[in-house]
Structure 1
Amino acid sequence: MHPLLGEFVGTTLVVLLGNGVVANVILNKTKGHNGGLIVITVGWAMAVFVGVFTVASASGAHLNPAVTVALAVAGKFAWSDVSGYVAVQMLGGMMGAFLVWLVYRKHFEQTPCGDTKLAVFCTAPAIRNIFGNLVSEVIGTFVLVCGVLSIASPKYGLGALDALPVALLVMSIGVSLGGTTGYAINPARDLGPRLMHALLPIPGKRDSDWGYAFVPVVGSLLGGTLAALLYVFQAV
């Protein structure tokens, strides 16, 4: 599999299964309705596991622009390949969100709340404070990328099982730090699906909250970059 195709497929799987568990828990008349935060957190961790495990041998399974940029800053990935990776990750996020809508389209019709429908696609803060929300995303992504950089090191390499520690890391971030913003920690996971929410013919939907959209993007990229700079500094 070509690396760009791998990133597209992997990111599609992550968003399909990750946003899918959100849809299963919060949309009306689903089998998993009212499953709660723990179900969502475990579902997201398993989504990352499936995505990483499936395409790791093809692309390295970044599946996240923040991870791609951080790996480039840390000298573990070529800057010339960053734009291609980020582009297909965004497209994968959009495709995953489209497939979630396709699976749950009848449940969107049965759910009257526009906020709930938007929450299937992208994150929103529990308490809206842009600075505080940005800090939450920075810290969450910092933790993620610190872990990814350690796992990517030859000293700690686990072969195909690299998917497992990454999944456990995502679950830990979700249960510990996810209560403030919903822990996007990945621009492709948030911005791609947010675009699909704006484009898809979802009955009774609200606006896509573009005033908040920069927070998970900027916060994730900043957090990942800070983690990469720390990695470089401690390696000197």
Structure 2
Amino acid sequence: MGSVTMAQVLMSEVVGTALLILLGAGVVANVILPRNKGFDGGWLLINFGWGLAVFVGVYAAFRSGAHLNPAVTIGLFAAQEPFASARVGERLEVTVEPTFSNMLLYFGAELLGAFIGAVLAYLAYKKHFDEDADPATKLAVFSTGPAIRSYGWNLVTEVLGTFVLVFWVVGSGRTPSGLGPLAVALVVVGIGASLGGPTGYAINPARDLGPRIAHALLPIRGKGSSDWSYAWVPVVGPLLGGLLGGLAGAAYV
């Protein structure tokens, strides 16, 4: 990777997270919006679509360590692991230190990327959003929602799912790009298949909040509410899970 500027690092997070959400929201739109060729493709198609979206996003964001997720960033901060590094010859060179200010910069880049990705997914499926569909279905393309609304238990689910992701990231290879994009993708598929049913598994505050803001702002026909009463759960839960996963991962290794 060599020497990079902070601007390049942040742009890397924006681009990687935008691709993650474009493809992740895209697979949800394909499965649940009317008249799509992938309509009614099922939960596993969504799981694998999100996993492959992670695969693409991690490759694209190699300069920044490919967090794509504030929960990963806060986990690495808690573990005091480098946010990004590069191998120069035989030597591993830290390019972004895990400081509080850098963590906030990563959060902003991830949220911006998620917003952009959601807007692009909307444009890709514009004619399908124009079709008659339940407002909750249209919101589900952008953001998660619980199968059974119970804020406390929904929070527990998000904490646990994110804990698994970040504990694995920190304990197994420090950063997603170090582990390999395919490995991270398969972990995300596994979390979705095993723990995703109750809440739709945000496991990423930017993944939920950025698209929810896009849903609120975009001129989506018949869109209804953005469900802000639930919006804190997929933000607070993953941040808590990421913090605990980072601390536990660092202690484990």
TM-score under structure 1 length normalisation: 0.94
CA distance in structure 1 between the aligned counterparts of 2:201 and 2:52, rounded to whole angstroms: 15
Identity %: 55
Q: Please say if residues 127 and 180 of structure 1, whose CA atoms lie closer than 8 Å, have aligned partners that are also in contact.
A: yes
Quote the residue 2:29 is aligned against: 23
Deviations 1:119-175 (A, max 9, x none): 000000000000110000000000000111133249xx985x611110000000000
Aligned partner letter, 1:193:
P
Quote the residue 1:164 is aligned against: 182
Quote the residue 2:95 is aligned against: none
Structure 1 unaligned segments of length 5 or more: list them: none
Q: Please say if residues 171 and 250 of structure 2, whose CA atoms lie closer than 8 Å, have aligned partners that are also in contact.
A: no
CA distance in structure 1 between the aligned counterparts of 2:123 and 2:74, rounded to whole angstroms: 31
Quote the residue 1:193 is aligned against: 211
Q: Which has the larger displacement, 203-212 or 77-86? A: 77-86
Q: Please say if residues 151 and 162 of structure 1, whose CA atoms lie closer than 8 Å, have aligned partners that are also in contact.
A: no
Q: Which has the larger displacement, 70-79 or 122-131? A: 70-79
Quote the residue 1:123 is aligned against: 144
Deviations 1:85-131 (A, max 9, x none): 11010000000000010010110111321010000000000000001
Structure 2 unaligned segments of length 5 or more: list them: 83-97
CA distance in structure 2 between the aligned counterparts of 1:25 and 1:74, rounded to whole angstroms: 38
Q: Which has the higher helix share?
A: 1
Residue in structure 1 matching 2:79, options 74, 79, 101: 74
Residue in structure 2 matching 1:32, options 34, 38, 42: 38
Aligned partner letter, 2:26:
G
Q: Is residue 10 from structure 1 mapped to residue 7 from structure 2 by the alignment? A: no
CA distance in structure 2 between the aligned counterparts of 1:117 and 1:158, rounded to whole angstroms: 32
Shift of 1:234: 3.3
Aligned pairs for 1:204-223 (under 5 A) are 204-223=222-241
Quote the residue 1:113 is aligned against: 134
Shift of 1:15: 0.2
* 1:118 to 1:158, Cα distance in 2 relative to 1, 3 A: closer
Root mean square deviation of aligned Cα: 1.5
* 1:7 to 1:131, Cα distance in 2 relative to 1, 3 A: same
Residue in structure 1 matching 2:55, options 49, 56, 60: 49
Aligned partner letter, 2:56:
V
CA distance in structure 2 between the aligned counterparts of 1:202 and 1:167, rounded to whole angstroms: 30
Secondary structure of the corresponding residue to residue 118 of structure 1? helix
Q: Is residue 149 from structure 1 mapped to residue 179 from structure 2 by the alignment? A: no
TM-score under structure 2 length normalisation: 0.88
Residue in structure 2 matching 1:176, options 160, 174, 194: 194
* 1:153 to 1:64, Cα distance in 2 relative to 1, 3 A: closer
Q: Is residue 93 from structure 1 mapped to residue 100 from structure 2 by the alignment? A: no
Deviations 1:35-60 (A, max 9, x none): 0100000000000000001222x110
CA distance in structure 1 between the aligned counterparts of 2:174 and 2:107, rounded to whole angstroms: 22
Q: Is residue 140 from structure 1 mapped to residue 161 from structure 2 by the alignment? A: yes
* 1:158 to 1:195, Cα distance in 2 relative to 1, 3 A: closer
Q: Is residue 228 from structure 1 mapped to residue 228 from structure 2 by the alignment? A: no
Give the count of matched residue pairs. 231
